[in-house]
Protein backbone atom coordinates (compact mmCIF):
# COMPACT_ATOMS: atom_id res chain seq x y z
CA UNK A 1 0.00 0.00 0.00
CA UNK A 2 1.37 3.40 -0.98
CA UNK A 3 1.87 5.91 1.78
CA UNK A 4 2.56 9.58 2.11
CA UNK A 5 5.29 10.87 4.38
CA UNK A 6 4.66 14.35 5.73
CA UNK A 7 6.51 17.03 7.63
CA UNK A 8 6.26 20.66 8.69
CA UNK A 9 8.98 23.18 7.88
CA UNK A 10 9.34 26.62 9.40
CA UNK A 11 11.21 28.51 6.69
CA UNK A 12 11.27 28.78 2.92
CA UNK A 13 14.96 27.88 2.92
CA UNK A 14 14.29 24.70 4.91
CA UNK A 15 11.46 23.68 2.56
CA UNK A 16 13.58 24.34 -0.53
CA UNK A 17 16.48 22.34 0.91
CA UNK A 18 14.19 19.40 1.68
CA UNK A 19 12.60 19.42 -1.77
CA UNK A 20 16.05 19.59 -3.38
CA UNK A 21 17.26 16.64 -1.26
CA UNK A 22 14.14 14.63 -2.11
CA UNK A 23 14.71 15.21 -5.83
CA UNK A 24 18.37 14.26 -5.50
CA UNK A 25 17.27 11.08 -3.68
CA UNK A 26 15.17 10.07 -6.70
CA UNK A 27 11.69 11.37 -5.86
CA UNK A 28 10.01 12.99 -8.86
CA UNK A 29 8.10 16.27 -8.99
CA UNK A 30 4.93 14.18 -9.22
CA UNK A 31 5.74 12.53 -5.87
CA UNK A 32 5.99 15.84 -4.00
CA UNK A 33 3.37 18.18 -2.66
CA UNK A 34 3.99 21.43 -0.80
CA UNK A 35 1.30 23.45 0.95
CA UNK A 36 2.32 26.88 2.15
CA UNK A 37 0.74 30.06 3.44
CA UNK A 38 0.17 32.66 0.76
CA UNK A 39 2.15 35.62 2.02
CA UNK A 40 0.62 37.95 -0.57
CA UNK A 41 -2.58 38.07 1.46
CA UNK A 42 -5.05 37.32 -1.32
CA UNK A 43 -5.63 33.74 -0.20
CA UNK A 44 -4.82 31.85 2.96
CA UNK A 45 -2.93 29.10 1.16
CA UNK A 46 -0.95 28.52 -1.99
CA UNK A 47 -0.39 25.12 -3.55
CA UNK A 48 2.63 24.09 -5.59
CA UNK A 49 1.57 22.65 -8.92
CA UNK A 50 2.88 19.38 -10.42
CA UNK A 51 2.02 17.36 -7.34
CA UNK A 52 -0.15 14.42 -6.30
CA UNK A 53 -2.19 16.52 -3.87
CA UNK A 54 -5.83 16.88 -4.88
CA UNK A 55 -6.98 20.21 -6.25
CA UNK A 56 -9.01 22.57 -4.11
CA UNK A 57 -6.49 23.33 -1.37
CA UNK A 58 -7.70 26.91 -1.01
CA UNK A 59 -9.19 28.74 1.99
CA UNK A 60 -11.18 26.29 4.32
CA UNK A 61 -10.27 23.38 2.00
CA UNK A 62 -6.91 22.33 3.44
CA UNK A 63 -8.32 20.00 6.10
CA UNK A 64 -10.67 18.41 3.59
CA UNK A 65 -7.86 18.00 1.05
CA UNK A 66 -5.58 16.38 3.61
CA UNK A 67 -8.35 14.02 4.73
CA UNK A 68 -8.84 12.98 1.09
CA UNK A 69 -5.12 12.20 1.00
CA UNK A 70 -5.68 9.74 3.85
CA UNK A 71 -4.64 11.88 6.81
CA UNK A 72 -6.87 11.43 9.89
CA UNK A 73 -9.14 14.42 10.58
CA UNK A 74 -7.46 15.45 13.86
CA UNK A 75 -4.02 15.45 12.17
CA UNK A 76 -5.36 17.32 9.14
CA UNK A 77 -6.75 20.07 11.38
CA UNK A 78 -3.43 20.27 13.26
CA UNK A 79 -1.51 20.57 9.97
CA UNK A 80 -3.90 23.27 8.75
CA UNK A 81 -3.29 25.20 11.96
CA UNK A 82 0.47 24.93 11.47
CA UNK A 83 0.15 26.25 7.90
CA UNK A 84 -1.98 29.18 9.09
CA UNK A 85 0.82 29.98 11.57
CA UNK A 86 3.19 30.42 8.61
CA UNK A 87 4.70 26.93 8.35
CA UNK A 88 4.85 24.76 5.24
CA UNK A 89 3.66 21.16 4.81
CA UNK A 90 5.64 18.82 2.58
CA UNK A 91 4.13 15.50 1.51
CA UNK A 92 5.99 12.78 -0.38
CA UNK A 93 4.38 9.81 -2.12
CA UNK A 94 6.30 6.62 -1.23
CA UNK A 95 5.61 3.24 -2.85
CA UNK A 96 7.44 1.11 -0.30
CA UNK A 97 9.11 1.11 3.10
CA UNK A 98 12.51 1.92 1.61
CA UNK A 99 11.17 5.13 0.06
CA UNK A 100 9.32 6.01 3.27
CA UNK A 101 12.47 5.56 5.33
CA UNK A 102 14.49 7.59 2.84
CA UNK A 103 11.99 10.48 2.97
CA UNK A 104 11.82 10.39 6.79
CA UNK A 105 15.61 10.46 7.01
CA UNK A 106 15.75 13.50 4.72
CA UNK A 107 13.11 15.25 6.83
CA UNK A 108 14.93 14.44 10.07
CA UNK A 109 18.35 15.55 8.76
CA UNK A 110 16.85 18.87 7.65
CA UNK A 111 15.30 19.51 11.07
CA UNK A 112 11.68 19.20 9.91
CA UNK A 113 8.94 18.85 12.53
CA UNK A 114 5.79 16.74 12.91
CA UNK A 115 7.10 13.96 10.68
CA UNK A 116 4.49 11.27 10.05
CA UNK A 117 3.24 8.88 7.42
CA UNK A 118 -0.22 7.75 6.42
CA UNK A 119 -1.74 5.35 3.93
CA UNK A 120 -2.90 7.19 0.87
CA UNK A 121 -6.58 7.19 0.16
CA UNK A 122 -7.55 5.51 -3.08
CA UNK A 123 -8.60 8.00 -5.72
pLDDT, tens digit, for every residue of 40-63?
554 444 444 444 444 444 447 888
**Cβ atoms 112, 9 nearer than 8 A:** yes
**What pLDDT does 42 receive?**
41
User: Per-residue pLDDT for 24 more than 80?
Assistant: yes
Q: Please state the rounded mean pLDDT for residues 53-74.
A: 71
Of 41 and 11, the one with more pLDDT: 11
Cβ atoms < 10 Å from Cβ of 116: 16
User: Per-residue pLDDT for 101 more than 90?
Assistant: yes
Domains contained in the chain, number = 1
**What pLDDT does 57 receive?**
46
**What pLDDT does 27 receive?**
95
Mean pLDDT of the chain: 82
User: What three-state secondary structure class fits 44?
Assistant: coil
- Bridging pattern class, strands 32-37 and 88-94: antiparallel
Domain at 50, CATH number: 3.40.1520
Q: Which domain holds residue 109?
A: 3-119
Q: What is the pTM (predicted TM-score) of this model?
A: 0.79
Amino acid sequence: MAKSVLCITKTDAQAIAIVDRLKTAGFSHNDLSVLLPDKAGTKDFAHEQHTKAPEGAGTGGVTRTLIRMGIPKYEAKRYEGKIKEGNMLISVHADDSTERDRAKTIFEQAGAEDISSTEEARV
